[in-house]
Amino acid sequence: MNKLVKLFITSISAITLALVSFSSSFAKVEGDYIVLGSAISLTGKYSSNGVHTQNGYNMAVDRINKMGGVEVQGKKYKFEIIYYDDESNPKRAAQLAERLIKQDGVHYMLGPYSSGLTKAIAPVTEKYKIPMVEANGASRSLFTKGYKYLFAVLSPANQYLEVAIDLAVEKNGGKGVRIAQAFEQDAFSQDVRLGILDAAKRTGSEIIIDDKLPKELNDMAATLAKVKATKPDVLVVSGHTKGALTAIRQISEMKVDVPMLAMTHCDAAKLSKQHGKKSEYALCASQWHKNLSYKDKFFGSGKKYDKDFKKEFGYAPPYQSAESSAALLVFKDAFERANSFDRDAVRDALKTTEMQTFYGNIKFGPGGQNTAKPMILFQVRCKGDDCENKVVAPTKWASDKFYHPIPKWSERS
């Protein structure tokens, strides 16, 4: 009896397995749909940005489908995305990537949120030769591993604040500046740091404070006291949203006067909203801003994207959403140029991408990073208690003049 039961269970599981593998071989394109897969952080510590990413993807899928979809070999297809929640956990993300590929038969992937999770997924997509277009993993190490199926629409992390150093040198009459920097000890922030080191070398600048903030640190008083004592020309801080909020809080409380303050994650931290006037004059690196003049036929301009996104989701799109939308435009373009659903053909098409989207120009370098789009810097400027982010660099896109040096705290109201 026992043996019979065992035999029964074995055969059932065998049939199920067979069915699963059978169905999966058709799953990449089902009927009129091209199925994409994505593991995304809908819960856990990245959930806010995970949702921004998902909204960006969904917005682009709707728009592309509404405007005729993707044309491959004379037939129109629509995009569809299978999502799983990776709980902001890299291990889970890698498992889900396997599941998307092996069980759901997904042949084309969209990236998760954050460099860490992209790093967890990339080896899996690489192993199964699945092209992945990602929009939220900026860490430089993603692009030095020789991945062949990974494409990122965003600028790599080391470029985030290089522009700021160039700007400081320019303001200093072309002479090198004295830089104080504080970076969290995580892959992304350390990449930003490497970018600064390069820029310092290039411009003959000197780094006088180089603090590495522990991940659990929420107090920067010591770093800022050093800054006060050494009076650098530029202070650079990168430590995700926590770092940005802590820095502004303590700079304003300790009345630290620096001529220039450059940071990352200001918009994710809602700096101008949470800290108001205290955050004025902070320079922030950003992948995208609605005022840039890039255009495409799906979303029109950045301003139009901003408007449509607000209408659909009820909040202004952060750059995480914009770059995620751009990822789908890249996929659509690649499918049409490949004119095939063959993974390698699609990958080759992705490799030769050269296009403009509302988010920026996209052209992939040898490591898969986007080399065609510069980072932008905006500066927080306030009118009364109303603070806004104004683009100040590069000059081509600038809507406002860069305010330099930052007035002393004693002169600020």
Partner 1 sequence: MDFLIFKAPMLMVQASLDGILLGILFALIAYGMALQWGVMNIINIAQGDLVILGGYIAYTMYLAGIHPAWGVIVSPIIMYFVGVLLYKLVINKVVDRDLFISILATFGIAIVFQQLMNFVFGADVVVAQSEYGTTMLFDNSVTLPNSKIFSAFISVLYAVALVVYMKKSRLGRAIRATAQNARAAKILGVDTEKVYAATFGINAALCGIAGALISITLTLHPYVGLPYTVRSFMIVIVAGLGNLPAVAISGMGLGLFEEFADYILGTEFRIGAVFMLLVFILVYRRFKLSKKREYLK
In the bound state with partner 1, the residue whose beta carbon lies nearer, of 186 and 348, is 186
Sign of the C-alpha dihedral, residues 391, 394, 398, 400?
Answer: positive
DSSP letter string, 215-239: TT----HHHHHHHHHH--SEEEEES
Query: Residue 261: which H helix or E strand, with range?
Result: strand 260-263
Comparing CB distances to partner 1, the nearer of 29 and 251 is 251
Minimum CB–partner distance for residue 113 and partner 1 (Å): 11
The distance of closest approach from Cβ of residue 315 to partner 1 in the complex, given in angstroms and rounded to an integer, is: 12
Token couple for 75: 């037939």
Nearby residues of 14 by Cβ (< 8 Å), 6 or more positions away: none
Which residue number, 34 or 271, has a Cβ lying nearer to partner 1?
A: 271
To partner 1, the closest distance from the beta carbon of 45 in angstroms equals 5
Beta carbon of residue 3, minimum distance to partner 1 (angstroms, whole number): 40
CA distance 256 to 147: 44
- The kind and range of the H/E element at 5 are helix 2-24
Q: How many CB atoms lie within 10 A of CB 180?
A: 25
First to last CA, the chain: 86
State the minimum distance, in angstroms, from the CB of residue 283 to partner 1. Answer: 20
Cβ–Cβ < 8 Å for 263, 196: no
The residue (of 67 and 222) whose beta carbon lies closer to partner 1 is: 222
To partner 1, the closest distance from the beta carbon of 153 in angstroms equals 24
CB-nearer residue toward partner 1: 244 or 322? 244
Angstrom distance (rounded) from CA 17 to CA 9: 12
Which CB sits closer to partner 1, 109 or 269? 269
CB of 48 to partner 1, least distance (A): 5
Please identify, using beta-carbon distances, which residue of 4 and 385 lies nearer to partner 1: 385
- Residue 176: CB partners within 8 Å, gap ≥ 6? 169, 200, 203, 204, 205, 206
Q: In angstroms, what is the minimal distance from the CB of 248 to partner 1?
A: 9
Which residue ranges make up the site for partner 1 (CB under 8 A)?
Answer: 43-49, 182, 185, 211-214, 216-219, 221-223, 225-226, 228-230, 240-242, 245-246, 249-250, 253-255, 268-270, 274-276
Tokens 């900026």 sit on residue: 138
| Residue (276 or 374) nearer to partner 1, CB | 276
370 touches 154 (CB < 8 A) = yes
